[in-house]
Structure 1
Amino acid sequence: MHGEVLRTRQLTPTLVRLVLGGPGLHDFRAAEGTDAYVNVAIPPAGATYGPVFDPDEVKATRPREEWPARRRYTVRRWDEAARELTLDVVVHGDAGAAGPWARAARPGDVLVMTGPSAGYRPDPDAAWHLLVGDESALPAIAATLEALPAGARAVVRLVCDGPEHEVPLESAAEVDLLWLHRSPDQPTPLPDAVEALDFPAGRVHAFVHGEADEIRAIRRHLLTERGLTRADMSCSPYWRRTMTDEAWRAVKKEFVAAMDADA
C-alpha cells in the first residue's frame, strides 16, 4: 500500500503534516483505535528500487544497506469521503530517516506503508481520561480528544520545547489542558507534572506515551502510588533521549521488559 503526497504543512518548527491520497490507498481501512498507526518504509539515499515497492521483497532480495528504514506513525486523521490520510511527523534536524524525508516531501512523492493497526480507544465507561505525552504522542492525543463526546472529562499534560511548538486541540469534552515547556533547568518536566495532579474522583483510563525514561517514571508512579491497573492504562516508550531511532529499536524490547518488571 502507498500514498502520494497531496500537500504538506509546517505545523510547528519541528512538526510537519503530510496529507496523502491517490489510488495506492484504495484498500486503506480505518482502524478502531484513536492511536491507529501505519508502518512506513523509507528507502535509503540512492536506492535503485521504487518509488512503489514491497518492503518484504526488498529485504529478501537486496543487501542490508539497501533495506528501507521502517518507522511507525500515528494516523492523525483518515478522511473516508476524500480518501485522504493525514500523518504528523516530528522532525529534529537532519537526524533519522522519516523526519528528513517528511521535511523534504513534495506533492507527488510516494510513501510506502502497511497497516493500519491500533491498540487504544478511550473507554466510554471511565469516569475520566488522563492523556500524557510529548510531540511523538501528540497525534494520538489530539485524535483521542476529538473522539471524546460532550460530557466526558479529560486531563491532559503535554510537553514540548516552547510556546511555538504548541498546536490547537479541539474536543467536545471538558478538558483540563496544560502545556509544559522543557528548559535547561528542567528538561523532563512531565513526570513531576503528573505527580502533582489532584486526581478527579472515579476510575481513570490513561494514555501515557513519549520519551522512554519519562514514560517509565510516570508508569511506575501511576501503578504504585495512584493505584491504576495495567488494564486501565495504555503506556509505551516511543523514543529515548540521546539515542538514534535505530539504536533505540535495538534495545527497546529489553527496556520494555525492565519497565514491566518495575510494577
Structure 2
Amino acid sequence: MPTWHATVETASWLTPVLVRVVLRGDGLAGFAMPDATDAYVNVAIPPQDAPYGPVFVPAEVREHHPEELWPARRRYTVRRWEPASGRLTLDVVVHGDEGVGGPWAARAEAGDVLVLEGPGGGYRPDPDADWHLLVGDESALPAIAASLEAVPAGRRAVVRLVCDGPDHEVDLPSPADLDVGWLHRSGDPGTDGTLLLHALEELDLPAGRVHAFVHGEADEVRGIRRHLLTDRGIARADMSCSPYWRRTMTDEAWRRVKRDFVAQMDAEVGTGAA
C-alpha cells in the first residue's frame, strides 16, 4: 500500500468515546478512495521519543530499527474524504488510556503529523438490493454512517447499533428509509454481548433480498453471522462480515489470533469473511 502523511487540522469529541480527527496537507496529494464505504487506512504511530522524524516510511523503519522502535499499526475507517479540499476525516474510538490509537486521538491537536498507508476497502451498499441491514458497535459506526449516506433514496435500511448510553448516539443522515435502533449496554459483559443478537432474533425482516453489513466485536459478530446465515437464510454473498476487535484482548493480541478466528468462523457456516 502507498504511504501518505497528513497534518491534524482539527480534533473534536463527537461522543464520550469517539474523537473526530480531520487531516489535510500536501502529503495527501494523489490520495484516492476505492469504491467502498468501509474504506480504511492503516495509521502508523511511532513510540515516544522515536529516533526518526514525524514523516517516515514504515517499511524503512522496520528495516533499519529494532522492533521496539517500530510504529504501532492501527486500522481506521475513513469517515469522509473530500478531494476538493484535501480533507480526510477519521472517527477514532477511545477507551481511556488503553491501546495506542485511542490515546493518540485523545491527545491530537492541530499541527500533529500522522503517517498512514492505504486505502483499502471492499463494501458498498448494493443499489440493486431490496433492503439493507447494518449492524455493529462504536468501532463499526464510521463505516455504517458512511454507508448509510450511499443507500439509494427511499430504500429500506435497518440499523442496529450498541453503545454505552444515549450520549453515545450520533445522528445518521441518509436518503434511505431508516429504521434505527440503539441498544444500550448495562455493564454486564454477558448480557451486553448478546444485545445485538437478541435484537435481530426479534426483528421482522423486510421482504426481498438484503445486503448486510455486520462488523464489530468478534464474538458478537460470530453469533450474528451464524444467526443470519442459518436461521434467516441470508446468502453469504449478500453479507459483509468482519470482527474488528475482541473483548478482553489487546489490539496486539487480537491481531495475532484474528486470522485463525476468522477461519474458524468461516468453517462454522459458509466460507470467506469479507
Aligned partner (choices 90, 93, 96) of residue 93 of structure 1: 96
* Offset, 1:194: 1.2
Name the CA distance, whole Å, in 2 between partners of 1:194 and 1:110: 41
Once the two structures are superposed, residues 131-189 of structure 1 have per-residue CA deviations (whole angstroms, 9 ceiling, x without a partner) of 00000000000001111121211000000011111011100110000000011342221
Unpaired segments ≥5 residues, structure 1? none
Letter in 2 for 1:158: L
How many aligned residue pairs are there?
263
Residue 111 of structure 2 is aligned to residue 108 of structure 1: yes
Name the CA distance, whole Å, in 2 between partners of 1:124 and 1:168: 23
Aligned partner (choices 149, 154, 179) of residue 146 of structure 1: 149
Letter in 1 for 2:226: R
Identity of aligned residues (%): 70
Name the CA distance, whole Å, in 2 between partners of 1:204 and 1:227: 11
Aligned partner (choices 181, 186, 192) of residue 184 of structure 2: 181
Name the CA distance, whole Å, in 2 between partners of 1:76 and 1:156: 17
Name the CA distance, whole Å, in 1 between partners of 2:236 and 2:53: 42
Name the CA distance, whole Å, in 2 between partners of 1:93 and 1:50: 27
Letter in 1 for 2:79: R
Is the partner of 2:149 in helix, strand or coil?
helix
Letter in 2 for 1:239: W
Name the CA distance, whole Å, in 2 between partners of 1:50 and 1:117: 26
Q: 2:237 aligns to what?
A: 231
Name the CA distance, whole Å, in 2 between partners of 1:259 and 1:130: 20
Q: 2:255 aligns to what?
A: 249
Name the CA distance, whole Å, in 2 between partners of 1:108 and 1:141: 29
Unpaired segments ≥5 residues, structure 2? 270-274
Q: 2:268 aligns to what?
A: 262
Alignment of 1:26-37 (within 5 A): 26-37=29-40
Alignment of 1:21-100 (within 5 A): 21-100=24-103
Q: 2:202 aligns to what?
A: 196
Which ranges of 4 or more aligned residues in structure 1 deviate by more than 2 Å? Answer: none
* Offset, 1:50: 2.0
Is the partner of 1:142 in helix, strand or coil?
helix
Name the CA distance, whole Å, in 1 between partners of 2:187 and 2:52: 44
Name the CA distance, whole Å, in 1 between partners of 2:262 and 2:217: 12
* Offset, 1:238: 0.1
Letter in 2 for 1:197: L
Name the CA distance, whole Å, in 2 between partners of 1:184 and 1:130: 26
Letter in 2 for 1:223: L
Is the partner of 2:183 in helix, strand or coil?
strand
